[in-house]
Amino acid sequence: MKNNNNKVPKLAHLFFRWYCKKEMYEELHGDLEEFFYERVKDKGPFKARLLYIWDVIRCCQSYAVRKPKTQNTTIMMLNNYFKTSTRSLLKNPLTSFINIFGLAVAIGICLTVYAFMDFEYKIDQFHANKGQVYLTTFYTNRDGSIERYGMSPAPLGELLSTDFPQIQKVCRVEESNVVVKYEDEVFHETLTYVDPSFLEMFTFPLGKGVNKSLNDLNSIILSHDMAIKYFGDDNVLGKDLEVIFSDSNKKVFKVAGVAEPFPKPHDLGFNFLIHFDNLDYARPTNDLSNWDQFITATFIQVNDPNQIAGLEEGMEKYKLLQNEKNSDWAIESFSLEPFVTLYANSAEIRKAIVYNGSAEGRIALPIIAIFMLGLACFNYINISIVSAAKRLKEIGVRKVIGASKNKIAFQFLFENIFVTLFALVLGLLLAVFMFLPWFIGISERSMELNFFNPELWIFLSIVLVFTGVVSGLYPAFYISKFNVIRIFRGSVHFGKKNPLTKLFLGFQLIMASILMTGAVMLTQNSNFQAKRTWGYDPNNVLYVELPDSSAFNRLEAQLIQNTNVVSVAGAIHHLGNNHTTTVIHQPDRKYEVDRLSVGPKYFETMGLQLKAGRFFKDHSENDHAAIVVNELFVENLNLSQPIGHVFEIDSMRYEVVGVVENFHLYNFYYEVLPTIFSLAETTDYKFMAIEVKSGAQPITYATLKKDWAVLFPEIPFQGDFQTRLWDNFYKDLQTQKTFSTTIATIAILLASLGLYGLVMLNVSGRVREFSIRKVFGAETKNIIKSVTNQYVLLTVISMIIGAPISYVLNKALIGMMFPETMQADYFGAFIAVFIIVSVLLTVVSTQIFRVVKSNPVDGLKME
Amino acid sequence: MISKNLTAASTKPIILGILKQGNSYGYLIIKKIKELSGGKMKYSDGMLYPVLHRLEKEGLIISTWVMEDDSVRPRKYYEITEAGKKELIQEQAQWSEVNAVLNAIWTTQ
């Protein structure tokens, strides 16, 4: 009996026979068989069969593979289209450049926006249990409006874990500012107190150490950045770090873990993690069973997300406990926010542990990207229609030799996708090397285009097909429907007066007008915001944070010897840095206001302006029951005689003794709110404000730092010029100007390119006409009129429609961004229209110049 | 193991050299090169056949189908032509020169 194992594998042999050239089959397979039989003897049948299969695969190369007898006609056709497209691109390099460059810029912007959105939607999504973790939030009525808060009553976490067996894990989180000391180095840091379940619920991987070390009250876990900052590397397990909670509370912790660097798209993070119970040590007066106390956050983890509705209902019972104890923060209801959506929704949750500062960007940027793609597509459609006039004969010949309407349409669509492919590659390069680095610079987000991510390739394919089809569909069908006889008779005149071409150009001009008006108005608004006053004088003020109760007196004693210091004041809160909110009780309503507790000299030192009454008196015991309010407070409560008016706050009665001009607690993105000042005890001061002589700020600041180092060698200096508190705000204003101007410039560039292409094609198609006009004595102004006629009317109509739309839209946008804006007028829109018209005139005049300077004889000869 | 680049560069003189010793076919040529190099030079089918066909096209070798007694199928035997022999002499001279240069460099080191 013949052994089948000693024969070459049948399937592999059949495959070889299928692909191998007939004339080579005998020779090649003969040798393969000889190798096979030799290997059967040397290595055994199994290995020989495997090696035979490998040989068959290896031989499948161009020299051995047979060519198909007849080529697929579709491939031939596509090959032909490819050739025609390449020739057409090379024949009209300028229009090709306009099309490709326009589309590339738009695609580059789309890719940049894609990178931004991809980054945004990945923020905090790397945690393995994200689908089971929820943040406890509550709704409360703040002076008539229901607000959602992300902080949590302190006792809530413990009660949840005991009352609800369906809750798998609970994690309380509290953050505070401390000083961290290692050897001689001291830094101000943010410390996070967490329950040991934190690292099980949030899967930040630890590079060194184990999650369980959080169970130890004396252990501390560092982020990768902190390990590098303090120790230079992450090999730090077992090292000691001293945490200074306050002047009297210090504790040494042993480093028990170091986290891996956090993934770039993250918002929830930490610098230092310690066990939550350390709060008892850090804040001995804190009572975590008191519903009056709030902590940063309480997270829960459940097995089954379907239990959430039941849990929320069950949490209703805590309302009574909370509201009995703290009626000022009466809770309407509790609610659980999925961690998956927490970042996206955090703009709607006040005091949430994570904060989404780019909620507007998520809406505005995709709209801008679609706008730009629209502009580029309109350009393409217009230029395709007009430039097809040059290819009439080609279309005619194709139709004569049997091409159907659909075939012609398909050919043009194919060409368009081919052009879009070019643009896609160029757009990708523009995005990677130009737009993305620029956008990362202004947005300070480390986003990237990950080419190993299949989602990116799916997005690119969608952009390719969408752009290719949207911009090519209309021209393809428009061009393909022409009658072949009319083409050869020369009676087809299309493109030049196509109403849709004008409509698209009109759209482009309106879009450019909206974006340009936006840029002008945002610039005007930025200048307006930059010139606004803060309601006090920050220019000559320095401030410094104080570490303990005796610090103010010690520093003040040092500073009053400095002749550059005009006045010194202490405060618990400081303008631009922090404040608290409190509830004012009136017989008929409760009213929430911002509150700052300050020393008596604070008003003069900060330059707050008194409108009525007086400031606090120095060493006045009575003034501990006095408040100074701002004008808005008086206005909102309709106080005709504010001085002497008495309010109840925290069960104590306070009398209004003074009214100050409205002032800004924070930057101009935030509206001025009703605010009160109360008198603070010297021992409670957390800040010192120092007014210095004009021009002496730098030298006093340097002296202050030196004095500080002598007085408080263990505590790092934390203070600055008051004006520097707004550096980020002014930087943001500058970014807005840069961003809007860049986008508007690109929009105008695209519209100008489109118009240039149209005018150029129009002029090229009318060379004979202009030559005849010139021969018959037409003057330059007649030629100009003839070229520009249709565009002038179109531009005027577009601007008449575009300018008011631009004005209304941009006014609404700026109104959304800033509570107080400049007195918007049409000036911004006029400037925008002027810029657009100037650019368009420049573009058109280059072509007019060409026509005017051309020799009519040449023009007549050419045609 | 001799590098692929060097193996590829020396294919022509080696094939011509082997065929000068006597007519041969693909399988035997691959085996012979393996034997002569002590397994340090490995030829794949993908390297050998395109070169054989090119040499035949250039007129340096010719092929004939031969039915041998020990085989159930004909084999395509290749034979070196006069032009092939001349080419081999030129190749030998060039490789000897390369060899001499390399020797000169290495002996002075």
Every domain of chain A and the residues it spans: 2-59, 79-118+357-493, 151-348, 495-534+738-863, 541-693
Q: How does pLDDT run across A768-803, given as a tens digit for each residue? A: 788 888 888 888 888 888 878 777 888 888 888 888
Give the residue on A whose Cα is nearest the Cα of B65. A27
- The number of angstroms, rounded, from the C-alpha of A653 to the middle of its chain's C-alpha atoms is 47
Taking only Cα atoms into account, the Rg of chain A, rounded to an integer number of angstroms, comes to 37
Is residue A385 a contact partner of residue A497, using CB atoms and an 8 Å limit? no
Residue A631: pLDDT band with limits 50, 70, 90: very high
Establish if A53 touches chain B: CB-CB under 8 angstroms.
Answer: no
- pLDDT of amino acid A100: 87
Report the residue count for chain A.
863
Average pLDDT for residues A46-64, to the nearest whole number?
86
B27 touches chain A (CB under 8 A): yes
Please check whether residue B15 is in contact with residue B88, taking contact to mean a CB–CB distance below 8 angstroms. no
**Closest chain B residue to the Cα of A56, Cα to Cα:** B45
Distance CA A151, CA A349 (A): 9
Burial per residue of A165-191, b for 16 or more beta-carbon CB atoms within 10 angstroms, e otherwise:
eebbbbbbbbbeebbbbbeeebeebeb
Residue A841 is predicted with a pLDDT of 84
Q: Which residue has the higher pLDDT, A327 or A346?
A: A346
| pLDDT recorded at residue A302 | 92
Please state which of the ranges A149-158, A601-610, A617-626, B56-65 shows the lowest mean pLDDT: A617-626
pLDDT at position A1, please? 41
First to last CA, chain B: 24
Query: Is residue A580 over pLDDT 50?
Result: yes
% of chain A surpassing 90 pLDDT: 28
Per-residue 3-state assignment (H helix, E strand, C coil) for A479-548: HHCCCHHHHHHCCCCCCCCCHHHHHHHHHHHHHHHHHHHHHHHHHHHHHHHHHCCCCCCCCCEEEEECCC
pLDDT tens sequence across A449-500: 888 888 889 999 998 888 888 877 887 887 777 777 777 776 666 555 667 7
Please provide the average confidence, as pLDDT, over all residues in chain A. Answer: 85
The neighbour count for residue A838, using CB atoms within 10 Å, is: 11
Task: Using the structure block, give the residue that is written with the tokens 């030196």.
Answer: A706
State how far residue A9 is from chain B, nearest Cα, in angstroms.
Answer: 18
- Between these two residues, A21 and A382, which has the higher pLDDT value? A21
The count of C-alpha atoms lying within 13 angstroms of the C-alpha of A85, restricted to the half-sphere facing its C-beta, is: 21
Angle between helices B26-36 and B11-21 (to 10 degrees): 100
Which chain B residue has the Cα nearest residue A36?
B27
Contacts of A313 (CB under 8 A, 6+ apart): none
- Distance, CA of A35 to CA of A28 (rounded, Å): 11
**Nearest-CA distance from A63 to chain B in Å?**
6
- Top pLDDT among A305 and A392 is at A305
* Cα–Cα distance measured from residue A168 to residue A197, given in angstroms and rounded to the nearest whole number: 10
A101 close to A291: Cβ distance less than 8 angstroms = no
Report the pLDDT value the prediction gives residue A2, as an integer from 0 to 100. Answer: 46
Neighbours of A510 (CB within 10 A): 20
pLDDT for the residue numbered A72: 66
Mutation to test the B interface, candidates A7, A16, A27, most B Cβ within 10 Å? A27
Which of the residue ranges A52-66, A385-399, A746-760 has the most confident prediction, judged by mean pLDDT?
A52-66
Q: For position A491, what pLDDT does the model report? A: 64
Report CB contact under 8 Å: B26, A27: yes
Chain A residues close to B27, C-beta within 8 Å: 30-31, 34-35
A415 in reach of chain B (CB within 8 A): no
What is the distance between the alpha carbons of residues A162 and A168, in angstroms, rounded to a whole number?
A: 11
CA separation for the pair A653, A678 (Å, rounded):
12
* Residues B73, A30: C-beta atoms closer than 8 Å: yes
Residue A431 contacts by C-beta under 8 Å, 6 or more apart in sequence? Answer: A107, A108, A109, A111, A112, A115, A449
**What mean pLDDT do residues A300-315 have?**
89
Chain B residues inside the 8 Å CB shell of A26 = 65, 73-74, 76
Token output for A207: 């590079």
Characterise A581 by phi-psi region: left (phi > 0), alpha (psi -120 to 50), beta (else).
Answer: beta
Among residues of chain B, what percentage have pLDDT more than 90? Answer: 45
Could B49 and A63 be called an inter-chain contact, meaning their C-beta atoms sit closer than 8 Å?
A: yes
Q: Over the stretch A804-835, which tens digit does the pLDDT of each residue have?
A: 888 888 888 888 888 888 776 777 778 888 88
Question: Is the pLDDT assigned to residue A502 strictly greater than 80?
Answer: no
Interface contact flag, B46 A28, Cβ < 8 Å: no
Residues of B in contact with A27 (CB under 8 A): 25-26, 49, 76
Strands A331-338 and A687-692, how do they pair?
unpaired
Closest CA to A697 of A542, A537, A525: A542
- The one-letter code for the residue type at B50 is P
Angle at A422 between CA A480 and CA A469, to 5 degrees: 40
pLDDT at A190 over 70: yes
Q: Phi, psi (5° rounding) for residue A596?
A: -125, 135
Give the pLDDT confidence score for residue A496 in this predicted structure.
54
* pTM metric for this prediction: 0.70
ipTM of the complex as predicted: 0.87
A28 at B interface, C-beta within 8 A: yes
* CA dist list (Å): A527 to A498, A553, A733, A743: 44, 41, 9, 19
- Which whole number is the average pLDDT over A672-699? 91
Rounded mean pLDDT, A169-185: 90
- DSSP letters, A818-847, are -SS-----THHHHHHHHHHHHHHHHHHHHH
Under 8 Å between Cβ of A649 and A583: yes
Give the mean pLDDT of A505-521.
81
% of chain A beyond a pLDDT of 70 = 97
